[in-house]
Chains A and B, each alone.
Chain A
Amino acid sequence: MAVIDRTDAPFDLDVGDFYDQYRMMFLIRRFEEAAERQYKAARIGGYCHLSSGQEAATVGAVSALAEDDLLITGYRCHGFALARGVPPEAVMAELFGRAHGCAHGRGGSMHLLDVSRGYYGGWGIVAGQLPIATGMALSLVRQGKEQAVLCELGDGAVNMGAWHESLNLAAVWNLPVVFMVVNNLYGMGTSVDRASAEPDIFKRAGAYRIEGERVDGDDLEEVEWATARLLRAAREERKPAVLEALTYRYRGHSVADAGLAYRTRDEIDERRLQDPLVRTRESLEARGVPPEGLDALEAEVEAEVEAAVVYAEGDAAPSVDQLAAGVYAAGSEEQFERMRPGSPAGEEELVFAGGLGR
């Protein structure tokens, strides 16, 4: 574990910020619990990857982003979307596959996004987002912008070729991107020790001569400070970096996985003793925030999550007439006109009638 010199912190958190961050962590926890219930009630389909236990890593890192910095993640992305400010209603509606979901009901749990907040999506193929993050950083450089990209990935992604290729490109081109490895110790059911020849993932940055740092991912401040420092170096000095946040996911890989085939219940219980929510709350109380205020906050967040579920339930399904919306850019209709004669049933009815490019 890298020892963080707290006197070197890039800024001082005031209690107000800290309070808001705790609120967000608590919101993510309750949101994930609600998502699991709704999945089991068959109101959410597909894959549903929960992040309970990882709230400090998520909120700490996102808090360090400047307003115009960019974010891109893998598929365990509910918490990142919420932390970046996507309203819980829009995230829950997406999980329900509804028209006012943040991806219009077309992406679901794995493909949340909000371009207005600089969140360029949850991506479903392991490590697929890394080269894309690199390209986003390249674009920032080309446009002369002093912004950075935070690219989240899981520990399972670091043995893909795309990891190596992206880190190398980012390093040789001096791109403003921080690759944040959320190391929850298991890539699906395979522990980091079984999957990685160098399980100290942050050390791999050395192979590209860029900075690598490991933090206690359950310590909100430590995550935020380290992320802030690395993002600042990316923005101001165009230095890419690897940040490894050690954390733990309480639930299985997805809701369909009980999460007990490859780890023990004791291990999970032991990790719960260091729950980032409890730690953060204790820290707030130690700074003089009265417990009653925190209790009230928790009740408020629970109501907010419940309201998101009610909103999602009441939202309309996307129109089937719009099946082909977005597949091609507006104005492409004419290019496809001459493909129609004799086209097979699937295409004829659903692509051409479905409205290209809307």
Chain B
Amino acid sequence: MNINPSTAFRDKCAIVGIGNSRLGKVPGVSSLDLLVEAMVNALDDAGLKTSDIDGLICRGPDDAYGHHQLIGARLGINANISTTMDNGGASQILSIAMAVMAIEAGLATTVLCGFGRDAWSRTHVTEEARVRNETRPASQRPREFGPEYGYFGAVAAHAFGAQRHMHLYGTTRDHFAEIAIAFREHALRNPQAQMKKPLTKADYDAARLIVAPFGLFDCSLRSDAAGAVIVTKKDRAKDLKQPPVPIKGFGSFNNLRGWFMDDNMVVTAAKKSGETAYKMAGLGPQDVDTAQLYDCFTYMVLTQLEDYGFCKKGEGGEFVASGALKLGGRLPTNTSGGQLSESHCEGMLQIVEGARQMRHTYGAERQVKDAEIALISGHGGNQVCHSTLILGRA
């Protein structure tokens, strides 16, 4: 079905507060407390108080049902609109899209959005946790059509797409290495990043295979991490502490038939999600100065670069090999180090970094020079849910 995304939302709202928690290994702090930390930082950044917030949309691993109530209780917030988002790693951008729609509908004025999880602590603090490793509770794990074949985990699911792409287009692990190495270089410029050591091609090649074609450095981190942003009317944003970051467009698409169906593992939901966001913003890939893409695995960056039109389908390998993703390159991508090297926060830190780039927060070593437009993606929910956010400059 063709949709007609409304341009009425373009530039109406802005991100006015940005915050993150401590990142990486933060033992002894729950997912909820990490998110509260990030939200308080976002409030301080904006110069707002909890009493200014009348919308709360969030997500975390603890309680898909009623997570927002747990956060609201901790922050002492009552809200006109509040819910927990359930769209996997695409939830975080969808929360912001919903905030804009709620504000434009007059249901709220100032919406706090965020995500936090203690994925490092819950898988490393005890030996039992480390052995169990998978964060999904036993009751929710598949009963058939997977475990009997030794099929477990998100690495394998995404590796299927990587293998198919390699078959169709001649993409190689050398291309995936380009992505891992570029993001690690960015992480080294980010004092908050979990990964502190350089990554060479030799390191990449020598690393153990996890589920081929993915090796260790194709896989994102397990992190304790949270991020939060505050969305309000752009007009109102002028009176606040920080320069507003206007929301120019957003999109969403969900290949609900499944990752294993059709060509979904090679042409992902990013394609239609991106088309929607571009239409709403009145922009195209040629206008984007920096991308903050959901990098759960290296291959997912490569296929999204194609799906978002930064290069043609099948040419992602060549594109990344050109050095385009590096700071100073044609499309500096994941300038914080991303989930591969900064911290994995299910896409929330991509939003945080995109917004900070649009504020021109950073010194020359990390700032994308003269950046006016940032494209941010979220991906998840068994690989089929996708959302897109396009931010600009005030």
| A and B held together in a complex | no
B residues bordering A, Cβ < 8 Å? none
